[in-house]
Homo-oligomer: A and B are copies of this chain.
Amino acid sequence: MKELKGRKLILFFGIPFGIGCYFLGNPIFAIITTLIMLGGIDEFYTLSEKKGGHPNRIFGFIITLLIAVSYSGVYVHHQITIMGLICFSVVSVFFIEIINNKEEPLLNISTTFLGILFVPSMLGTIIYIRQMDHIYNSNIVLTLFLSVWLCDIAAFFFGTKWGKKKILPSISPKKSWVGSVSGFIVAVLVFILSYRLGFLGIRYVLFDAVIFGSIAGIFSQLGDFAESMLKRDAGVKDSGDLLRAHGGILDRFDSLLFSSAMIYIHLLIFID
């Protein structure tokens, strides 16, 4: 009877309400749909909390608003292929999970997607940057590789020698402020040097080089922290065991994930 009551509520309240909203025209319809999206994602997060997670509500709400704006503009019609792909992915993964009927569906589905967001969505940006390099005869990717690697090495040596105060010992027990700042400076210097030697071509100015270097210096280290955090959570505290067995790809590329994504964003917004 509970089920029936729910259905009657829809019939006598939901349908007129839905139809009413519909006839109020596009802007009102979009606003009400957005409110429903916000309510829905809020509930989804409550479900996640029941599973012991602490999803970031505020962030989810902000992205919901951005997605609503994006769908509202017919002028963003060109972005539909990616959104179509995302929708298709979500439906497919849920469908497969329903058929498979395994334990822990929430965790299964959410980690499937986080894998896609964390690795290919981020690392794939390097392909785009490489193509921009090709078109504009620059060497951002190559400089980024060197910058990130030398940043890591500098942070390690300076940190080991002079690093006392740790940044976030509970996530990464060895990373010190001295090491991080040294790494940052080296990352910026590598980009400035690359610029001075003409490796960045004629499209970018010194200011761009400083920005690229700063992104490399900050976000490569943030990527390190991100992976340390995931490893700690998975109970893999030393980089040894799990990842070494698999070649340690994430271990090697964690610092590139975030820095290349942020350079990509910088190129999109300020240069292209």
Residues of A within 8 A of B (CB): 2-4, 6-7, 10-11, 14-15, 18-19, 22, 26, 29-30, 33-34, 36-37, 39-48, 50-56, 59-60, 63-64, 66-68, 70-72, 74, 76-98, 101-128, 130-131, 134-135, 141-142, 145-146, 149, 152-153, 156, 168, 170-171, 174, 219, 222, 225-226, 229-236, 238-240, 242-243, 246-253, 258, 261-262, 264-265, 268-269, 272
Chain B nearest Cβ from A180, distance in angstroms: 13
Residues of chain B within 8 A of A7, CB atoms compared: 152-153, 156
Q: How far is the CA of A115 from the CA of B47 in the complex (A)?
A: 10
Residues of chain B within 8 A of A124, CB atoms compared: 33, 37, 67-68, 70-71
Residues of chain B within 8 A of A233, CB atoms compared: 51, 104-106
Q: How far is the CA of A87 from the CA of B124 in the complex (A)?
A: 10
Instruction: Please tell me which one of the listed residues B50, B92, B109, B156 contacts residue A242 in the complex, with CB atoms under 8 A apart.
Output: B50
Chain B nearest Cβ from A110, distance in angstroms: 4
Instruction: Please tell me which one of the listed residues B42, B91, B268 contacts residue A258 in the complex, with CB atoms under 8 A apart.
Output: B91
Residues of chain B within 8 A of A60, CB atoms compared: 112, 115-116
Instruction: Please tell me which one of the listed residues B26, B111, B131 contacts residue A131 in the complex, with CB atoms under 8 A apart.
Output: B26
Max chain B Cβ within 10 angstroms of own Cβ: one of A55, A222, A236 = A55
Q: Are A3 and B43 in contact (CB under 8 A)?
A: no
Given contacts A113-B117, A142-B19, contact A54 B104 (CB under 8 A): yes
Q: How far is the CA of A146 from the CA of B101 in the complex (A)?
A: 30
A-B contact pairs, 17 of them (CB 8 A): A4-B156, A6-B239, A7-B153, A26-B134, A30-B127, A40-B123, A51-B233, A54-B108, A60-B116, A78-B78, A88-B265, A90-B122, A97-B226, A98-B225, A98-B229, A101-B170, A113-B114
Q: Are B59 and A112 in contact (CB under 8 A)?
A: yes
Q: How far is the CA of A66 from the CA of B98 in the complex (A)?
A: 24
Q: Are A234 and B51 in contact (CB under 8 A)?
A: yes
Residues of chain B within 8 A of A78, CB atoms compared: 78-79
Given contacts A53-B107, A106-B230, A226-B94, contact A142 B22 (CB under 8 A): yes
Q: Are B29 and A130 in contact (CB under 8 A)?
A: yes
Q: Are A131 and B22 in contact (CB under 8 A)?
A: no
Q: Are A33 and B126 in contact (CB under 8 A)?
A: yes
Given contacts A29-B127, A79-B78, A111-B51, contact A40 B121 (CB under 8 A): no
Q: How far is the CA of A46 from the CA of B37 in the complex (A)?
A: 32
Q: Are A10 and B119 in contact (CB under 8 A)?
A: no
